[in-house]
Structure 1
Amino acid sequence: MNLRSWRSVMALCVSAVCALALVACGNDDDSDSARAARAFAAAMANQDVQTASDLTTSPSQAADALSASFAGMHARTVDATIGNTVEYSDGTASFTMTTTWHWSDDRDYATTTTGSLRRLSTGWKVQWEQSLLKTGMPVGARLQMVRTDATPAPTVRSASGKAFMTMQPVNEIMINPAATRNLQRSVNALAAALKPIAPLVTAKVINEKIVAAQGGEALAVTLRDPDMKVLASDPERISGVTVVKTGMLVMSDRRLSTPLSTGLTNYWQAVRNATSGWQVQEATPGAKPVKLAGEQGRPAPDIMTTINQNEQLTLGDAVVEVAQPATVMSFDAETGGILAMAQNDAAADHRIQADIAYPTGSTLDPVFGAIDDTATDADQARARWQHLGLGLTFTVPGVVGPPGSSSASVSAASFRPQNFTATMLNMGILGVSVARSLKGSPTSVPPYLIKDTPTKVSGGELGAMDAATVARVAAQMAVVARRGDASDLTGAPGLRALVGTNGPAGPGWFVGISGGKVIVVYCEGDASGTAALQVAQKYYRLD
């Protein structure tokens, strides 16, 4: 054997001896290195970025990477376990870590990675590597979980099956005060650019939105794609202004506007959420995200409603008859289905809603008078006006309302409630109940908006109506229409009505039954009873 060969053999022997020396410490779950690894895993499980990064050799780099992935994954809980800890004689150690990210609906994603530790003067530290989060993960990348939705998105349809609301691409025009040197100049320029399509979005309005956003980025207006073509100038050329393209559920017919759109959008979003899928991705700046796990969302069914689009258009034209706050709803007199709802800008500013209870004043005097004449005690009286839809809370899917509601009270001396309040839904179902009784149906029904989706009734029960009571109410409503406050109304054959106010300052009500429909008008302010009759007359002329 020559000298070179002998040296090669000796080098191999030395390497083997060194390797054996490095593993001499072996596996030890009670070692300092194992405890350091488990402490790191515990901080990961707690999603505690600060503690986890401080346990590494590069706290700053670890904090950046962990913060990005924790934010991107937004997991409900995280499990992290350590295994196979091996300590070496050169002051290093190795381990494996299994990290499992959990979300709702039994969604989870797990990785098993290999890491190492180093013994420093401050103790054992985890050698920071991006691959601790996922094997092979490049520096600067992050893990993220995103929802996935099936396409096309569900459509909200009217009773005829026509599209009432559809998801369409829209443009959110944003203004950021921090991104412009002259904010007022940018605001003025944006208002000028929007004027051809959105003249009401003035510089004053934009400034108010900036104030409401507490000086942060504010949404000036949302425009559909065709609207963008008629702007006076390109908003993105204005300092501090950006255009964010997104999708939104909007009215298919631009002439229509209804307070019901908020509740329908919420219901639509709930359907989308329930049918959405999910995907865990490895996201690297400048590269397309890589799918790691997940399931595609299943197609969601279209949402079928009771809305009549022509009725909605009619209500929209009728409600602008007066300047004071006015809201009107229309119901199918047989089924209780909500046909339409509209309100003018003043009512929208007052945030009048279908299921907020408002004082009824004298409006229901004929109803409670009939109950006084036919009921023998307070409990029977209460049951009779509940069976007509009064004093109940209706939670109608697709109709937005606040938690809780006002309820009526009955004094011990009289069957007639004092300071009674009712929602527009209550008043509508009162009209529906009377109309059904006139057609021979003995039971009342709740209002509803989305087909095959039941309404929750609380605070009492609907049910069999007392024939004598309803006959008296119907007769009184006919008198109001022929010789009372509603006698001047025209174009409403067979009208039966209730009209009243809660004093000179209102509110004022109108409930009318005609042509297989029930309409409810609610107005606020002085002479609100007259205003309610004006809206009703405009409706019957257009209907």
Structure 2
Amino acid sequence: MLSRCRADRSVRPGRAATLAMAVTAVGACCAALTSCSSEPAGASAVIHDYAAAVSQQNISRAASLTTAPGQAGDALTATMDGMHATNVEAQVVRTVGYSDGTAGFTLKTTYRWDTGTDSERAARQFVVKTQGMARNVSTGWRVQWEPAVIYPGLRPGGRIRNIRTDARPAPRVLARTGKPFMVMEPINEVVIDPGRTEDLGRTVGAVARVIAPMAPQITADVILHKISARPGEPVVAVELRDPDMQVLAGDPGKIRGVSVRRTDRLVMTDRRLSSPLEDGLTNYWQAIRDVTSGWQITVQQPGEAPQRLDGRQGAAGPNIATTIDPRIQSAVGTAAVEVAQPTTILALDGRSGGILGMGQNDTAIDRGISIDGEYATGSALSAVFDAVTAYAKSHNSGTEESLDRLGLGVALTVPGASSPQRNGLGVERIDFRPGEIRASMLNVGALGVALGRVLAGERSSVAPYIITGQQTKVAAGKLGALDGELVRPILDAMVATVRRGDASDLTDSKGLRALVGTNGPDGPGWFLGLVDNTVIVVYTEGERAGTAALQAVQKYLKVRSR
């Protein structure tokens, strides 16, 4: 870069001497700032201080070292927020001073993101070189503010961003038949912002009328309840798929205080289905999307489409094969909503342990009932604990191993269905008191699968699972071989319960074996059944919880063959 140094013209030496002096002057000016400015050390200091502040992502400090702190602060904030880099390194690679009281510099800025291995971190960085100027103003040397200091050619209001990219096509969640059970689809969120309407009641009423053809259950009272739960905040009144939008009674986006926010989401292909398993499957699906995600650096200039600067995107993730049976999922979902009390139903394959479906009514959702929460078992499993105790006495052994192998004494973490929060059996293992045992629906389901496998000729227990190829983590004990002497009394008790016990009034129950009971008059109630090589676990809460569990089972038995 050429310097604009002024030569002293008071003496006119010869041509050779003049050339030599000129060369010397230019070389001196380009070698360092100290030769061609009134305060070259100040210019060098402020440029390096600015670079250091950027490296520290200290926006206020960096902005204060410019000629326009407000504009610089806004632009740098947009940059740091948009790039969200783990590490930023701004390095001054060249400076040059000019005799007109300015100084130039070249800045190399490297943005880095921690992504795991050293090779991944090396690949995940973005480097940009920019040119800038510094000048001496009334407050001292300052970096002349231009957005181009951030990125070459950047204009006021422009920004560079690091955005996530996702591989296409998105993985699908498949049912046990191989057909799609959940897929990613566009979702339209109808959002009400109380701060953008002068008459909230009128707005809510208008929204309820517009969405009534597709979501009649979302009334004005329902929406107002949502709003009251989050005072002053925007609230999603309803979520609709694209086809739903075509049958509304109007455009909700035209209502004052209402906007329609479009997003992509994993949803069930059959809109009639809903399941507590949806969250776990979505989390597993999202984990695959995260692992296969890519990145892209873009520059956004005012009034222009984003321009790609750099990035990387790998291949799409695989589809997710599950054990879900849509027919059984529909049956357990229908059965659960038919009961007024909090009711949750889990169905599993009686031989493999694959989870076939899980249904839950709104009151159970409100109570936070989960597949791996621990609940008192009460009298429902009395026959199981009697058999465990008798087996331990006859074999002069403890109860721990039997409880473990039956699935009750272990902690189960099922990828795609549960979270690793449980600690195993809800009593001290060395102090076995059946009346105090707490278990999860997964534990009771594992018990049912163990019994089902014995009926099928298998003499060992297995862990429930939902993602094909993903092994359930078993902790705090081991599953394993089952002795007929332990299991036979339990199966006999299940037959007796259906023939002449609490489950004897059930109809459509051919081949059913069951245990049912409560933890006192206030519940909870449990039902464990085996029918058609399917394990059915029902958990209810409230008064007459045992009766409620039987009501849910009766409904399931009626709709299972539809």
TM-score normalized by the length of structure 2: 0.89
Question: Which letter does structure 2 place at the counterpart of 1:189?
Answer: A
Cα deviation for residue 368 of structure 1 reads: 1.1
Residue 342 of structure 1 is matched in structure 2 by 359
| 1:399 aligns with one of 398, 417, 422 | 417
Residues 133-161 of structure 1: CA distance to partner in whole angstroms, max 9, x if unpaired?
A: 12222232100111112222211110001
Question: Which letter does structure 1 place at the counterpart of 2:399?
Answer: A
Q: 1:218 to 1:282 in 2, by over 3 A?
A: same
Q: CA RMSD in A?
A: 2.5
Residue 530 of structure 2 is matched in structure 1 by 513
Rounded Cα–Cα distance in structure 1 between residues aligned with 2:233 and 2:426: 44
Rounded Cα–Cα distance in structure 1 between residues aligned with 2:518 and 2:424: 18
Residue 441 of structure 2 is matched in structure 1 by 424
Where in structure 2 are the equivalents of 1:70-81 lying within 5 Å?
Answer: 70-81=80-91
Rounded Cα–Cα distance in structure 1 between residues aligned with 2:250 and 2:554: 44
Secondary structure (helix, strand or coil) at the match of 2:31 reads: coil
Residues 207-244 of structure 1: CA distance to partner in whole angstroms, max 9, x if unpaired?
A: 23233333122211111112112222211221111112
Residue 66 of structure 1 is matched in structure 2 by 76
Residue 488 of structure 2 is matched in structure 1 by 471
Does 1:118 find its partner at 2:123? no
Does the CA-based 8 Å contact 2:351-2:453 persist in structure 1?
A: yes
Rounded Cα–Cα distance in structure 2 between residues aligned with 1:462 and 1:411: 15
Residue 195 of structure 1 is matched in structure 2 by 212
Residues 19-44 of structure 1: CA distance to partner in whole angstroms, max 9, x if unpaired?
A: 93795483369943333222212221
Question: Which letter does structure 2 place at the counterpart of 1:389?
Answer: G
| 2:371 aligns with one of 354, 364, 370 | 354
Does the CA-based 8 Å contact 2:33-2:103 persist in structure 1?
A: no
Does the CA-based 8 Å contact 1:141-1:284 persist in structure 2?
A: yes
Q: Which moved more, 1:478-487 or 1:281-290?
A: 478-487
Q: Which moved more, 1:349-358 or 1:37-46?
A: 37-46
Where in structure 2 are the equivalents of 1:438-477 lying within 5 Å?
Answer: 438-477=455-494
Q: 1:36 to 1:77 in 2, by over 3 A?
A: same
Question: Which letter does structure 2 place at the counterpart of 1:214?
Answer: P
Does 1:96 find its partner at 2:100? no
Residue 383 of structure 1 is matched in structure 2 by 401
Secondary structure (helix, strand or coil) at the match of 1:191 reads: helix
Rounded Cα–Cα distance in structure 1 between residues aligned with 2:225 and 2:267: 24
Q: 1:128 to 1:506 in 2, by over 3 A?
A: same
Residue 221 of structure 2 is matched in structure 1 by 204
Q: 1:255 to 1:122 in 2, by over 3 A?
A: same
Q: Which moved more, 1:324-333 or 1:457-466?
A: 457-466
Does the CA-based 8 Å contact 2:427-2:438 persist in structure 1?
A: no
Residue 254 of structure 2 is matched in structure 1 by 237
Where in structure 2 are the equivalents of 1:25-44 lying within 5 Å?
Answer: 26-27=31-32, 31-44=41-54
Rounded Cα–Cα distance in structure 1 between residues aligned with 2:199 and 2:285: 41
Residue 53 of structure 1 is matched in structure 2 by 63
Does the CA-based 8 Å contact 2:382-2:434 persist in structure 1?
A: no
Cα deviation for residue 94 of structure 1 reads: 2.4
Secondary structure (helix, strand or coil) at the match of 2:279 reads: helix
Residues 452-483 of structure 1: CA distance to partner in whole angstroms, max 9, x if unpaired?
A: 11111222222222332122222222222222
Rounded Cα–Cα distance in structure 2 between residues aligned with 1:203 and 1:130: 49
Does the CA-based 8 Å contact 1:354-1:401 persist in structure 2?
A: no
Q: Which moved more, 1:391-400 or 1:376-385?
A: 376-385
Cα deviation for residue 401 of structure 1 reads: 4.3
Residue 495 of structure 1 is matched in structure 2 by 512
Tell me, which stretches of 5 or more residues in structure 2 are unaligned? 1-8, 35-39, 116-120
Does 1:224 find its partner at 2:241? yes
Cα deviation for residue 178 of structure 1 reads: 2.2
Q: Which moved more, 1:21-30 or 1:229-238?
A: 21-30
Where in structure 2 are the equivalents of 1:296-311 lying within 5 Å?
Answer: 296-311=313-328
Secondary structure (helix, strand or coil) at the match of 1:270 reads: helix
Cα deviation for residue 436 of structure 1 reads: 1.0
| 1:20 aligns with one of 10, 25, 30 | 25
Cα deviation for residue 451 of structure 1 reads: 0.6
Secondary structure (helix, strand or coil) at the match of 1:316 reads: helix
Residue 265 of structure 2 is matched in structure 1 by 248
Rounded Cα–Cα distance in structure 2 between residues aligned with 1:50 and 1:225: 45
Rounded Cα–Cα distance in structure 2 between residues aligned with 1:289 and 1:502: 62
Cα deviation for residue 301 of structure 1 reads: 1.2
Cα deviation for residue 411 of structure 1 reads: 7.5
Residue 258 of structure 1 is matched in structure 2 by 275
Q: Which moved more, 1:175-184 or 1:333-342?
A: 175-184
Cα deviation for residue 92 of structure 1 reads: 2.5
Tell me, which stretches of 5 or more residues in structure 1 are unaligned? 1-6
Cα deviation for residue 374 of structure 1 reads: 1.2
Where in structure 2 are the equivalents of 1:307-318 lying within 5 Å?
Answer: 307-318=324-335
Rounded Cα–Cα distance in structure 1 between residues aligned with 2:162 and 2:348: 44
Does the CA-based 8 Å contact 2:410-2:424 persist in structure 1?
A: no
Question: Which letter does structure 2 place at the counterpart of 1:391?
Answer: G
Q: 1:128 to 1:23 in 2, by over 3 A?
A: farther
| 2:342 aligns with one of 322, 325, 335 | 325
Secondary structure (helix, strand or coil) at the match of 2:129 reads: strand
Q: 1:54 to 1:198 in 2, by over 3 A?
A: same
Secondary structure (helix, strand or coil) at the match of 1:327 reads: strand
| 2:161 aligns with one of 144, 161, 170 | 144
Where in structure 2 are the equivalents of 1:125-164 lying within 5 Å?
Answer: 125-164=142-181
Q: 1:461 to 1:27 in 2, by over 3 A?
A: farther
Q: What is the aligned length?
A: 532
Question: Which letter does structure 1 place at the counterpart of 2:261?
Answer: V
Rounded Cα–Cα distance in structure 1 between residues aligned with 2:496 and 2:249: 57
Does 1:85 find its partner at 2:90? no
Residues 261-308 of structure 1: CA distance to partner in whole angstroms, max 9, x if unpaired?
A: 111111111111111111100012321100000012421211111000
Residues 494-533 of structure 1: CA distance to partner in whole angstroms, max 9, x if unpaired?
A: 3221111010000100000121110001111110101111
Residues 401-434 of structure 1: CA distance to partner in whole angstroms, max 9, x if unpaired?
A: 473456322486x643452111111001101001
Percentage of identical aligned residues = 47
Rounded Cα–Cα distance in structure 2 between residues aligned with 1:411 and 1:291: 60
Secondary structure (helix, strand or coil) at the match of 1:471 reads: helix
Secondary structure (helix, strand or coil) at the match of 1:367 reads: helix
Rounded Cα–Cα distance in structure 1 between residues aligned with 2:235 and 2:391: 59
Q: 1:194 to 1:393 in 2, by over 3 A?
A: same
Secondary structure (helix, strand or coil) at the match of 2:244 reads: helix
Does the CA-based 8 Å contact 2:424-2:475 persist in structure 1?
A: no
Cα deviation for residue 388 of structure 1 reads: 0.8
Residue 118 of structure 2 is matched in structure 1 by none
Does the CA-based 8 Å contact 1:77-1:102 persist in structure 2?
A: yes
Cα deviation for residue 90 of structure 1 reads: 4.0
